[in-house]
Structure 1
Amino acid sequence: MRRPRRLVLAPLALAAAAAAAQQPLQTVVITGSPRAQQAIDAPYAISVVDADTLRDAGPMINLSEVMARVPGLVVNNRNNYAQDLQISARGFGARAAFGVRGLRIYADGIPATMPDGQGQVAHLDLAGAERIEVLRGPFSALYGNSSGGVIALFTAPVRRNEAEAALDAGSFGLRQARVGIAAKLGEALDVRANAGVVDSDGFRPQSAAHRTLGNVRLGWKGERDSLVLLASDHRQRAQDPLGLTRAQLDADARSTTPQALQFDTRKTIAQTQAGLQWRHRFGGGAPDEAGLRESTLMVYEGRRAVTQWLAIAPATQAPPRHGGGVVDFERDYRGIEGRLAGRIGGADAVVGVNAESQDDDRRGYENFLRDGKGQPLGFIGLLRRDERNRADTREGFAQASVPFGEAWALSAGVRSGRVVLRADDRYLSNGNDSGRLEYRYTNPVLGLRWTVRPGWVLHAGAARGYESPTLGELAYRSDSAGGFNDRLKGQSSRQLELGSKLRGRGLELDAVVFGIDTRDEIGVLTNAGGRSSFQNTGRTRRHGAELALGWQIDTTWKLQLAAHALRARYRDGFLTCSGVPCTAPTLPVAAGNRIAGAPAGGVHTELAWRPAALPGEFALEWRALGRTPVNDANTEFAGGYALVNLRWSHRVAVGAADTLELLARIDNAADRRHAGSVIVNDANGRFYEPGAPRSVLASVRWRHTF
């Protein structure tokens, strides 16, 4: 029997441990709701990936290992540690050539999405997670700017004293070692700490990587108050093999474009952050007690430093306005959020405010030396860019859920705020590129839940969402002239969702249909020479369906299925650039074209067998992804593909205090050649990032309780 969970803070979600304890056999979620509730009662599409699923999916390095099990969410592994994963939810985020756009990502309540809307996931500690909640659809708008979906990771609290050590070894030089400890330090204090190191040679030349990651969670719990201190440190250096053209991919999917070797393209990352959560309970804390129930305060601060060497020819950097071939920035970011929760007139309600800011000290350098000896490439040369960028967000939010009758419940919420984006140019010899833009938004959400009968719920939701441009998307004007891209507007969307959730007799079935209309969609105009410029492309429409099935067939067989279909198209025609330089767009994109980077659909199926006569669990996994347009003109597509994975896992007790976990995987067992992800609208035609060929993983994990 699953133990009751001690829940952790997430924005607009109160960790009501008492409520969770009342339903220990049900999956409990807190994302998108004023309080903890069973997943079946949430009036929106939400999926939960638990710790056991994470551990069986792979070495727990990348979200792409496990997120195919979530319908509507696409997480593609670029197989390139110098670039983050390619993540989209119902088409939001598909335009990102690097980093994450259009989605909100949280780790124990601390945003991994910056105030300007750009996020990253490489520092998430999957090995220490208790679960990951994924929210799609209208209620994600309650998380403010750039919230086309929400991915929230929750670290496992300390329930007992234990230590863990793990080793992973796999194809292409993959090696990982991890250690962790969780301990109760008396009646009120507890600590959890994890550290790991990863090395990979990669299956392509110029794709090796080294990463270290450490996380600490220190908790204190009093009679009415609790404190949680979170700290993490992430260091990474990685080579960048770049994308391939269609001809290169077809000729040799394990190759690397020559420019990557010529310029020694690579990236280093150093990120350290800390956060403190204070929670105070009022009254007796009973779930149905009227009045103020609790207050929560979260503060966090961090620093992220990145240096990246790009493959840009010296001649391309010759124009005085070019920012160089080496990107170097240091980012300081911080935030504070406070909220009050309670029960008013039979309704669970929460209100709060938050403020976030980021300061980027951004520099650009030539990636060659002017030493009179042939311009050696791949080094830090002369300064070509020096500016200070800043993003500030101020928001207020409120949400309430009220039942009426015996079978109905209404949920409503709103989040309103503004984001201010600034650039202060300090390199003025090539002109002043300073600028400032302010965006305001109000996102209302309304949801309705009808319990048809015990175990069967229908739900509907509607919302207005908003996404501002990021600082990087405002950095360059579309006409190649200098200055802030002050013509770029934020995109707004209207979303509708209808769904059904069914539970009973070993079956869990969720089905959703949705429609999304967007105005002023932000799209890529040019992407070449280290410069990406963006424009508003008019109206778009996304609609589709999602299905999630879990079926415990009998004591030995279990089936899981996640499937989605997406039709994401431009409703208005527009002009884009066919190459660079581009002083004016001339290439027509027809109304009805598919949005680049958004696959037409996908399926993940897993059939697991746990025979009584054999040790462990055997599983067959099958994943398919539809064709993906790589540019808005729809002149090229990454072909659809299907992959077969094999898995064996076994957990065995060794004495009274020790547990040994064994995992063996063969991924892409048929050695299928495919494009694992795409670089949207790349002007060089290097759209394709190859997926991994057949690979083998063996893992040994030891746990000791004390």
Structure 2
Amino acid sequence: MGFSHCTARRFFGATAGAIAFLCAGTHAATPQKRALPRSRQHRADTTVPARKPPVTENILITGISHAPATIRPAGQTTYSSDRSSFGNQLGQTVADMAVTIPGVSFTQGNGPRDTVVSVRGSGDRQSYGLKNLQILEDGFPMTQPDGTARADLIDPHAYEGMDVFEGPASTVYGNYAVNGAISFRTRKGADIHGLEIGSDFGSYGMFNNYATLGLGNRSYDLMVFASDVRGNGFIASSRYNTSTENVRLRVSLTPSDRLVLKFVNNVTDAFLPVRLSLNQYRANPYQQGCYNAASAAAGCASVSLFVNGRYGAKEAMSPEAAGLGRFDRRTIVGLRWEHDFDSHTTWRNQFTYDQRHVDQPTSPTSFAGPYNSYNVSSDITNQVRIGATSLETFGGISFDDLDYGYQTCNIMPLGGATCGAMSSESYGHQWNLGARFQEDWHFAPNWHAVAGLGGTYSDIGAMEAVYNYSAAGRTQQYITANRFFFNLAPEGALIYSPSKDWTLHARIGTAYGTPSSSNLFITPQGQYGNNTQLKSQSSTGVDVGADWHPDANSHIQITGFYEFYRNELVSQSAGVNTVGAYTFNAPASQHRGIVLGAEWKPFPKNFPGGRIKLSYTYDNQIYTNYTEVLSDSTISRSFSRKGNAIPGVIPNFLNARFLYDQPAGPLEGLGGYAEVTWRDSYWLDNASKLKAPGYALLNLELHYDPPARYGWAHRLHWYFEVQNVANTNWIAGATNISDILLASGRQAGAGTLMNSTGSVYAGSPRAYSGGVRIRL
């Protein structure tokens, strides 16, 4: 199911050393049963009788929720996808896991797996990574202290599911949880119970080999995963090779002590095209015939490179001829120790080391350097009875630190992303010290209330040296930034479950996100300079929703949200031949909308294997106070953006799947689906002059999992699918563009902005893929 109820389970390991709430998707026997103490929940993992609700081990501290399944801790809107939604099909990126989750959209980032995942529009206007979200995997932080997380690590074959916690969530997750958090859950070794080997293959030279080893019993659980995927890409200069290793080991040392070890390693080797203008996309979406810039076909994009690598004459080159790409490595190692003082109190301590080493010649300059970070956190959970009610108290602290050093150089027109003179270098740090406190009170059989407060003190210090060259020699400019931020985030929620079929919830949540050092040194002109006036963004959001099971064959979940933002950090491109995107504060904006998920079996008797799954999001985001200054070489003008739509945000998006899996008979295990994905058009600029066109795609999938009675054949799984059946031209990602001031003092219209480069990546044309997996 693409969405589920939330139970009162918590897991350790948020960036701020806090807690998260996982969705169980199960029903308690009665709505009045009380939750077990944390330590008893853990021990019950392997001893629960069959009549109890099914166990879902998300990480070590999972347990059996005896609380009503309709209860939602913190009232946070939560949707999930599990392996049944993505395990039988092509799994290349996190988009394959997230496509059925309401409130979640995604666009193409820089690289084959660099999917930009957005929750309620949080990351739609970014060019890479997962922004304004905290990302965790098996309880360990995957977001570095500067708020950077990337989806390159994620090969869906390794995962049991993902849970998305929507809305402002800094009380629980700390800095950068402006639009919530995402928790990824790898597969349990005991469920795998052996070795699985598989291969995917498809259009444009795609080939993925992967293997998963799983072992487990009451004392330990081990999952080891490795994959290697490569392909030529459907756009010129987009061939890639990505390898991933993922390990999780759980060990029960004593009845009161447990260890969890986590290891992730990813190497991304990808050549990159450059983003197009809208006119270039319409003329040549896949950038064919563009290798030689001097004789390139229409619609080709290029980069302008210093011939001598320092100053003077420039030469235009295609990204393929220049050798642009991303050649990065990410390694994460984490260890968690959990100790039960007694049946009511559990202490958890966790350490995570995270190194991200980048080598990115993605523009006229090449960017390279290490980002080393660590996260230390500790928390205590205590659960007591107060009369006929239960009260759970949580307190936690954390500290994370990032140290980095990078250099950029001018790329020369010699091929292979050859470095010329150094153009800049930067060194700095960011650390966050956080504390969390939360009370979780079941004050009546059908009522649940949560109140909490979190805070983070952040320290950012950085230095950037910028080098300029001329015939007279080299000059340098030194820019320093030392900023301190302190932010608080209270929250409160009330949940009412009048019956096992209904849950009503209301929540007020708050969140904050400090600028990161990368925001402080690129001006609105897209050049190096001082941008240190930035403030922390903050949000206050109200969620009101309902979860309804009208019968055993239907499930509907709907939430309305209204969020008030202050000093929202917005990033947009100044063009392809500039240093990069720049960041600014929009003083006030509002995000409001509706998130809907539904699942329905329309003919449970005649077609018991048929069902319909629907997710829909309406997202209306506007500036309520923002004045933008535009300049040309001689004049400047101010323009109010009040009432304008925030660019990059998709106002309507829908996913509908029509599925069938044969439950019995000779064709048992045969299934498939038809999927329609629709994205509305959306604005690309602050003045609301130019829109990226919307699209609708049709995908088809067929798979076969032979039943156990077929003996050895039961170990073999296969699938085949067709993506973009109608071969539609569509935009997979379009970053925001800057408005232009004409010599007349007026803003340029859509006709001019359609030539602004550095925005559009085309989506895949019709593609065929298939795969096999065998269990040994």
Distance in 2 between residues matched to 1:621 and 1:130, nearest whole Å: 21
Matches within 5 A, 1:24-43: 24-25=53-54, 40-42=70-72, 43=75
1:578 CA displacement: 6.6
Q: Decide whether aligned partners of structure 1 residues 583 and 403 sit closer, same or farther in structure 2, where only a CA change above 3 A counts.
A: farther
Equivalent residue for 2:157, pick from 117, 127, 136: 127
1:83–1:98 contact (8 Å) kept in structure 2: no
Deviation larger for 565-574 or 474-483: 474-483
Distance in 1 between residues matched to 2:270 and 2:8, nearest whole Å: 37
Q: Counterpart of 1:536?
A: 585
1:17 CA displacement: 3.8
Residue-by-residue CA offset, 1:354-379 (whole Å, 9 max, x unaligned)? 1111111111111117xxxxx66831
Distance in 2 between residues matched to 1:443 and 1:595, nearest whole Å: 24
Matches within 5 A, 1:514-593: 514-524=561-571, 527-528=574-575, 529-553=578-602, 554=604, 555-577=608-630, 586=637, 588=639, 590-593=641-644
SS of residue matched to 2:87: helix
Equivalent residue for 1:388, pick from 427, 444, 450: 427
Residue-by-residue CA offset, 1:633-654 (whole Å, 9 max, x unaligned)? 2221111111111111211145
SS of residue matched to 1:66: helix
1:178–1:195 contact (8 Å) kept in structure 2: yes
Matches within 5 A, 1:211-230: 211-221=242-252, 222-230=254-262
SS of residue matched to 2:95: helix
Distance in 2 between residues matched to 1:361 and 1:229, nearest whole Å: 28
Distance in 2 between residues matched to 1:83 and 1:618, nearest whole Å: 25
2:547–2:556 contact (8 Å) kept in structure 1: yes
Q: Does 1:493 align with 2:539?
A: yes
Distance in 2 between residues matched to 1:189 and 1:591, nearest whole Å: 57
Distance in 1 between residues matched to 2:62 and 2:202, nearest whole Å: 40
1:125 CA displacement: 4.1
Q: Decide whether aligned partners of structure 1 residues 602 and 309 sit closer, same or farther in structure 2, where only a CA change above 3 A counts.
A: same
Residue-by-residue CA offset, 1:315-374 (whole Å, 9 max, x unaligned)? xxxxxxxxxx111121111111111011144212211011111111111111117xxxxx
Q: Decide whether aligned partners of structure 1 residues 623 and 18 sit closer, same or farther in structure 2, where only a CA change above 3 A counts.
A: farther
SS of residue matched to 1:250: helix
Q: Decide whether aligned partners of structure 1 residues 634 and 449 sit closer, same or farther in structure 2, where only a CA change above 3 A counts.
A: same
1:525–1:576 contact (8 Å) kept in structure 2: no
Deviation larger for 116-125 or 168-177: 116-125
Distance in 1 between residues matched to 2:775 and 2:725, nearest whole Å: 30
1:83–1:99 contact (8 Å) kept in structure 2: no
Distance in 1 between residues matched to 2:525 and 2:674, nearest whole Å: 51
Deviation larger for 175-184 or 37-46: 37-46
Q: Decide whether aligned partners of structure 1 residues 124 and 432 sit closer, same or farther in structure 2, where only a CA change above 3 A counts.
A: same
1:263–1:311 contact (8 Å) kept in structure 2: no
Unaligned 5+ residue runs, structure 1?
285-291, 313-324, 370-374
Q: Decide whether aligned partners of structure 1 residues 584 and 190 sit closer, same or farther in structure 2, where only a CA change above 3 A counts.
A: farther
Q: Percent identity?
A: 20
SS of residue matched to 2:189: coil
Distance in 2 between residues matched to 1:34 and 1:142, nearest whole Å: 20
Q: Does 1:204 align with 2:235?
A: yes
1:33 CA displacement: 12
Distance in 1 between residues matched to 2:333 and 2:221, nearest whole Å: 17
Residue-by-residue CA offset, 1:246-265 (whole Å, 9 max, x unaligned)? 12221232226341234221
Distance in 1 between residues matched to 2:635 and 2:434, nearest whole Å: 37
Q: Decide whether aligned partners of structure 1 residues 658 and 474 sit closer, same or farther in structure 2, where only a CA change above 3 A counts.
A: same
Q: Does 1:368 align with 2:412?
A: yes
Q: Counterpart of 1:621?
A: 675
Q: Decide whether aligned partners of structure 1 residues 481 and 282 sit closer, same or farther in structure 2, where only a CA change above 3 A counts.
A: same
1:32–1:135 contact (8 Å) kept in structure 2: no
Deviation larger for 544-553 or 559-568: 544-553
Q: Counterpart of 2:345?
A: 293
Q: Decide whether aligned partners of structure 1 residues 5 and 452 sit closer, same or farther in structure 2, where only a CA change above 3 A counts.
A: closer
Q: Decide whether aligned partners of structure 1 residues 664 and 426 sit closer, same or farther in structure 2, where only a CA change above 3 A counts.
A: same
Q: Does 1:402 align with 2:402?
A: no
Q: Does 1:689 align with 2:761?
A: yes
Q: Counterpart of 2:376?
A: 336
2:545–2:557 contact (8 Å) kept in structure 1: yes
Aligned residues: 674
Q: Decide whether aligned partners of structure 1 residues 566 and 258 sit closer, same or farther in structure 2, where only a CA change above 3 A counts.
A: closer
Q: Counterpart of 1:351?
A: 395
Residue-by-residue CA offset, 1:43-64 (whole Å, 9 max, x unaligned)? 22101111222213x4322111
Counterpart amino acid of residue 396 in structure 2: G
Q: Does 1:146 align with 2:176?
A: yes
Q: Decide whether aligned partners of structure 1 residues 495 and 387 sit closer, same or farther in structure 2, where only a CA change above 3 A counts.
A: same
Matches within 5 A, 1:116-195: 116-139=146-169, 141-147=171-177, 148-159=179-190, 161-184=193-216, 188-195=219-226
SS of residue matched to 2:757: coil
Deviation larger for 655-664 or 613-622: 655-664
Q: Counterpart of 2:94?
A: 63
Distance in 1 between residues matched to 2:440 and 2:586, nearest whole Å: 37
Distance in 2 between residues matched to 1:276 and 1:347, nearest whole Å: 29
Q: Decide whether aligned partners of structure 1 residues 85 and 482 sit closer, same or farther in structure 2, where only a CA change above 3 A counts.
A: closer
Distance in 2 between residues matched to 1:85 and 1:294, nearest whole Å: 37
Counterpart amino acid of residue 564 in structure 2: D
Counterpart amino acid of residue 641 in structure 2: A
SS of residue matched to 1:69: coil
Matches within 5 A, 1:98-109: 98-109=128-139
Q: Decide whether aligned partners of structure 1 residues 442 and 6 sit closer, same or farther in structure 2, where only a CA change above 3 A counts.
A: closer
Q: Counterpart of 2:32?
A: none
Residue-by-residue CA offset, 1:481-508 (whole Å, 9 max, x unaligned)? 8654220011111100000011232222
Q: Give RMSD over aligned pairs.
A: 3.0
Distance in 2 between residues matched to 1:544 and 1:83, nearest whole Å: 29
Distance in 1 between residues matched to 2:195 and 2:526, nearest whole Å: 56
Q: Does 1:272 align with 2:331?
A: yes
Counterpart amino acid of residue 403 in structure 1: H
Q: Counterpart of 1:372?
A: none
1:187 CA displacement: 6.0
Counterpart amino acid of residue 775 in structure 2: R
1:687 CA displacement: 1.9
Deviation larger for 166-175 or 98-107: 98-107
Residue-by-residue CA offset, 1:101-125 (whole Å, 9 max, x unaligned)? 2111111222222212222121134
Distance in 2 between residues matched to 1:586 and 1:695, nearest whole Å: 47
Deviation larger for 274-283 or 28-37: 28-37
Q: Decide whether aligned partners of structure 1 residues 535 and 23 sit closer, same or farther in structure 2, where only a CA change above 3 A counts.
A: farther
Q: Does 1:91 align with 2:121?
A: yes
2:11–2:20 contact (8 Å) kept in structure 1: no
Deviation larger for 83-92 or 220-229: 83-92
1:34 CA displacement: 12
Deviation larger for 538-547 or 587-596: 587-596
Distance in 2 between residues matched to 1:642 and 1:484, nearest whole Å: 42
Q: Decide whether aligned partners of structure 1 residues 82 and 669 sit closer, same or farther in structure 2, where only a CA change above 3 A counts.
A: closer
Q: Counterpart of 1:288?
A: none
Matches within 5 A, 1:295-310: 295-310=347-362
- TM-score norm. by structure 1 comes to 0.89
